Structure 1
Amino acid sequence: MELYPAIDLKGGQCVRLYKGEMSQATVFNDSPAAQAGAFAAAGFRHLHLVDLDGAFAGKPVNGEAVEAILAATDLPAQLGGGIRDLATIDYWLDKGLARVILGTLAVRDPALVREACARYPGRIAVGIDARAGMVAVSGWAEATAISALDLARRFEDAGVAAIIYTDIDRDGTLEGPNVEATAALAEALSLPVIASGGVSEIADLERLKAAASGRIAGAIIGRALYDGRVDAAAALALAA
């Protein structure tokens, strides 16, 4: 199971939200690039980046911070938030991102997601963010009538690198991930599934690793790393 430390960007700073609420943001580092360097030094092999402002604006907002992160470390990084057209996908992948995460676009223009997958094999992930199993888009501000599983199944044959599943009601809460929903998604799909939201302790990672007969491909960790509830070395040892 691969671990992805999260760097969520708001106003050029590294923050964590509570249940996706922009009004409930805690700043953990004024320098996202320095935070990326710290994660690299701790031994992580990947980074998970989110342009929170971009997710609401529908276009990149924290581009300068993302570029600073890419300049500061050689770790493969994936980015989501505000990526709504091919020009933006082209731009970021050309800048050196390992892959981009398409969420709102997966709901509103699935044909474009398929086109991007064909153009960039293995470099497009679909982000599925859900409340009570139903997908939310536009920075989690807009609910849809599409279930997480139904949306994921639409892309099983598209060449998507991974499904990144976030339980919005667990995100930033330190209440533990929704292991059951994540495992059900992993068991129902042929695509790799990465869990996001709620990891608060090593035991959460143990449960994710053991679930779905070991088919959950990775886990994103945010607040628990920043406040020390999860020790990076112990987490990496468990994942390995």
Structure 2
Amino acid sequence: MILYPAIDLKDGHAVRLLRGDMEKSTTFNEDPAAQARDFVKAGCEWLHLVDLNGAFAGSPVNAAPVEAILRECNVPAQLGGGIRDMATIEMWLSKGLERVILGTVAVENPDLVREAARAFPGHVAVGIDARQGRVATKGWAEETDVDATDLAKSFEDAGVAAIIYTDIDRDGAMGGPNIPATEALARAVSIPVIASGGVSSLDDLAALKATGAISGAISGRALYDGAIDLGAALDLLRG
């Protein structure tokens, strides 16, 4: 199971939000590239990046720090937030991004996800962000009646590389991930599923790994606060 340290970008800084609320953000590093280098130095194999402003704007906003991270770090990175057309997908992949994460368009324009997955095999993931099993879009500001599992199943034959499943009510709250819901989703599809939201201890990571169904986990605040030691976490997941 792969651990993805998260760097969420707001106004050019690395921050964490509480349950997706842009008004409840904590700045952890004013130099996101330096933060990324620290994660790489500690041994991470991937980076998870989110353009928070872009998620609300519908187009890239924090491009400069993302590009700095891509230049300065030699591990693959995935990025979500504000990626809603082929031109933006092509732009990011041409700059060295390994994987784009499509969230809002997965609900509003699923054909784009399929087109992108065909054009760039292995480089397109779907982000499914949910409250009580229902998908939220546009930076989690708009809730839909779409069931998270149904949405995941609809991309079963699309060739997407992964599904990032975020339980919004757990995100940034340090209360532990929603393991039952994440495991159920992972067992409902053949696409690799990455858990996100509330991963806040080594015990959480061990429990996610023990399901045998979840392929990765994203953690942010716990790494910044020191609740998870990145080196120890990587050892646990590799062991």
**Interval of TM-score (by shorter of Structure 1 and Structure 2):** over 0.9
Deviation at 1:129, TM superposition (A): 0.1
**What corresponds to 1:65 in structure 2?**
65
Q: Given residue 5 of structure 2, which amino acid in structure 1 is its aligned partner?
A: P
Q: Given residue 233 of structure 1, which amino acid in structure 2 is its aligned partner?
A: G
C-alpha distance in 2 between matches for 1:75 and 1:169: 30
Deviation at 1:200, TM superposition (A): 1.1
- The answer to whether the aligner puts 1:172 opposite 2:172 as a matched pair is yes
Q: Which runs of 5+ in 2 are unaligned?
A: none
- Cα distance per residue 1:172-218 (max 9 Å; x no partner): 0000000000000011111100000101110000110012xx11000
**What corresponds to 2:226 in structure 1?**
228
C-alpha distance in 2 between matches for 1:17 and 1:163: 21
**What corresponds to 1:182 in structure 2?**
182
- The answer to whether the aligner puts 1:6 opposite 2:6 as a matched pair is yes
C-alpha distance in 2 between matches for 1:239 and 1:220: 13
Deviation at 1:233, TM superposition (A): 1.2
| Aligned-residue CA RMSD (Å) | 0.4
**What corresponds to 1:203 in structure 2?**
203
**What corresponds to 2:115 in structure 1?**
115
Q: Given residue 86 of structure 2, which amino acid in structure 1 is its aligned partner?
A: L
Moved over 2 A (4+): none
- Cα distance per residue 1:133-184 (max 9 Å; x no partner): 0000000000000010000011010000000000000000000000000000
> Size of the alignment, in residue pairs?
238
**What corresponds to 2:27 in structure 1?**
27
Q: Given residue 100 of structure 1, which amino acid in structure 2 is its aligned partner?
A: V
Q: Which runs of 5+ in 1 are unaligned?
A: none
- The answer to whether the aligner puts 1:141 opposite 2:141 as a matched pair is yes
Deviation at 1:71, TM superposition (A): 1.0
- Cα distance per residue 1:10-60 (max 9 Å; x no partner): 000000000000000000000000001000000001000000000000000
C-alpha distance in 2 between matches for 1:79 and 1:179: 23
C-alpha distance in 2 between matches for 1:16 and 1:79: 15
* Structure 2 residue matching 1:209: 3-state secondary structure: helix
C-alpha distance in 2 between matches for 1:93 and 1:63: 13
**What corresponds to 1:161 in structure 2?**
161
- The answer to whether the aligner puts 1:216 opposite 2:214 as a matched pair is yes
